[in-house]
Structure 1
């Protein structure tokens, strides 16, 4: 079947924004290059790795091009030729970097998006040629450099002349001299109001302790001597970006709140959490979303239809996560005056609202400890929301009766305990009902599983369960597929926040809320009503406690 999307894109002359070319070697392909792949690849449209000699083992999930010669200048010459021949018409920007360079891919994407594609661009960290003209610097290869498509097209006809006439042992100097001599263009560190910021990392440095705008604003960091250091850099910059994101969220929430005051109904029109869709409003009793009741040990809305079952697997992890979140947010809100410790979960409710996400209501018995060490028990209610993110409407054909549903389930070594219950549920709800569905299990071998593969198969139990399920249901081979894969899995973003609203009515000793009522849990008496929302891993900073003096 023809790829109509790519066909239309080609016909209209649309191109992707950024292509990343990584220069690596046989010695570092399975170490530093893998670290680059795990920190950059999922942020840009395309990443390709170029090496002189092919390694005995190419890492999973990485596209590697071997030129057959490890001479640095020859590798650069062949790489530029390859980029022009295979991708010159598909991308606007080409970023060339080494595998000992850490790049903030999101910031690199943003930089390329702010530059005009109609200009010849040679952007990077400007360095002077040894004994050369100070007015014509080249871009240092260790920090990477950005080439525009128009520059690449003009440079390729001169590559053979550059190879024969320019003598250099450094590939970045050779390429810079080629661009300067034949195109009259030198390296720039800023263009069109945009700055290419780089940071030179000292030896034996701790990335977590680095401070200052020079480090925080860097697009690339060099040199990175080992993969562990690159992962630590990635963690540090991710934490910085996360803090900036929460600041932007807080500013947007303030703007929404201020604008709401100017419209009819004012604050009454403001939804909680700020910026999240309002709850679903049913139009009939058949559309009412019921609440599921749970405790720390049991669930009272079981998939099997039983009235009571043990809280286990993903549900247990979910409940543990929201309890920990509630406690963290309460402590963050009231410390140092008060410190809370969970004594008991009295009641728990949850429901999935398709317009906003998973809602939770928790009745907690907490031990409140003052600064002087005094403590007493308090019954509190908190509301939480785990919102949906990046919801996308996918067009579907009008006739779907004969359409097969493809389910892809990635599995890592840490998730083996949940596979059995999932396969049982899949068999009962899909296979037993003869639905046209195909389940593909992607077995993701991490470093520990890969090292033990020769002695012990990490997913042997999963494969045995799949074989037993196929045999029991007498399904043809392939109804449940297994695909080993060693590439990284994209992470998921979540969040949390905290808001307080006063409500409350008495809760008698031993009283529990009726889990069958459709109107939702009733508020606890004479207690504050907390609402937690969010975007993991911490609170939305713009949501502040409110007090209602009218009650």
Structure 2
């Protein structure tokens, strides 16, 4: 009996000892246990060497975000931390994608006060003496680690610091957060940074703070706890005198757009100057933002390379050496394809910035300046005053942003800030080899907030020169994840190989929207209105046969033929109804004979002719052609002066999607051949190279259009009440803009409009007549050609130019 009692006492003692140990363990760890020992501290992957343990980042996440948001953070900025990163989640969390610490006794219920305080306690217990700084971050914040490292290395971590975007609550919360007049908090979203000394003072008081919460806001309670334990508040902007950056609201940036934040244009000053960006709710946006930041870093390294070139060139000049020797010494044995040490053309990049650094050897080499005001003024364009194009607007935005960054680089030390107001005027010129020169007269706002405060508008001239570095192409093979072989000696062959691989991969991933249900290429119905002009139509058919009939393309030609002599009633003729016509002299009869010849030669069935006995109007003519097409068919409105290539057919099929998109290609329109000395109008598109002397891209021409008939009906079709020349295409384009259909609008090298005389009927409507005269004038020749023509004839005529001249 005594032995049984001893055994029972022993068992009870063991049980009590275990319970007591568990109780004492929880007393020592008041926020709940951490992860099992094998998951903590040293097992977490470090992205940098141990000697650079500057920062420990704790990312607070939830189980449902571990494979999405958390993974995106770890894959992007999490790989560039000068220290370690760990992800803290609920007790049952598990992930193979990120270094995870599940917190025992913690769940994912919002608000996450317990999770946040437990995470900080973990940092205090395991890493306090290993890192100088500690960051509490959410899984929807992006951190620019290069900038953050620069900031933290400029601040003494042995002092108590509590850094973040300062807050005291919004207007609805004001007075309800139990904050004293001298208390604030660091907003959790953009990230919170604590120095080692702050965390040392905070750690022992975390349990007490967690047991005395006043609000449901985790960041508010953390701020209150830091104030009580460390005696400091969140850093206000004016307290950041030791920092190399300015206001906390600027460098720790919170975007108010919520889910849509950072989904648009990233070329914003907030993105460029911020250290943290919040919120990034979608992983795809996190990767996109990271790629953009990497591009900024690459550009910064390129600029450093250019500055090194200039320093070397200056040193050579001081030693009385020729700048050409820089090329010979550093580049002679290097090639951009075989040696990583190749760093560009020193003879160009090494030149000092100067508006006169390029010396032209002839008049043709003089670089032309474009004038910028509220509009863009250019003597080289037939429209000398026009709105900024998207490329010019984007370029000016980049220039202004970088200029303002340079101006405000030391604004904090000087107690002032300068804001950009507007560009009053400016000049720019572009040279593909040497770069871009820009002169700007800018209106700025000078704000001084230290000492004698003042705000005043000022004007400043900025002289900017952007040097072009070498172009680099690097395509990754998705199958092997290895770079493409670049050992080819022939540079052109290498470029062709790169382009071929890109196009091949693009084609593989393209949806089969351009095929019909049977798997065949979608048939294209060309609708061609024709009134007279037999010789021009003869040229059109020659091109049509070469590009479509010879290659047996799945196309159909619908010719709306107008009977100028009113000798026939309206009727429809298909190829099997052609007879053998007697010798005729009218354009219509010669056209019918020509079509009959092509039909017989190619045994071509997809040819329809509809003869119309009425006054010609293009809108009505196209409507007659549409009436012969079913709702599910693809059609393209074309003119007899157009020649096209087979490549165009592919683009047409891919750009027109039923119920989604309409294709309005921009055609290259040739000038008067008498002025450009090109009397041969039989253009070979395989060898044709568009340039500004031969013609221009007709940006405001909408006559050529590809779409499905069902979409045409939804748009309401052409306005058939319009008679005579033009305007029906503009009307259809306006309807498309107002619809839900997407407009595909781009230049198409496979379409060329061959010049022909434009005769404007004086009886046209005023708007139509003005449009006709505008087209008539714009298609004579380029501005340079007209200037040369004018000067030549003025010289020949002794300064008098009559109407015939």
TM range (shorter): 0.3 to 0.5
User: In terms of Rg, which structure is larger?
Assistant: 2
Give the alignment's TM-score, normalised by structure 1.
0.47
Would you tell me which structure has more helix in proportion to its own residues? 2
Give the alignment's TM-score, normalised by structure 2.
0.33
- Larger RCO (alpha carbons 8 Å, 6+ apart): 1
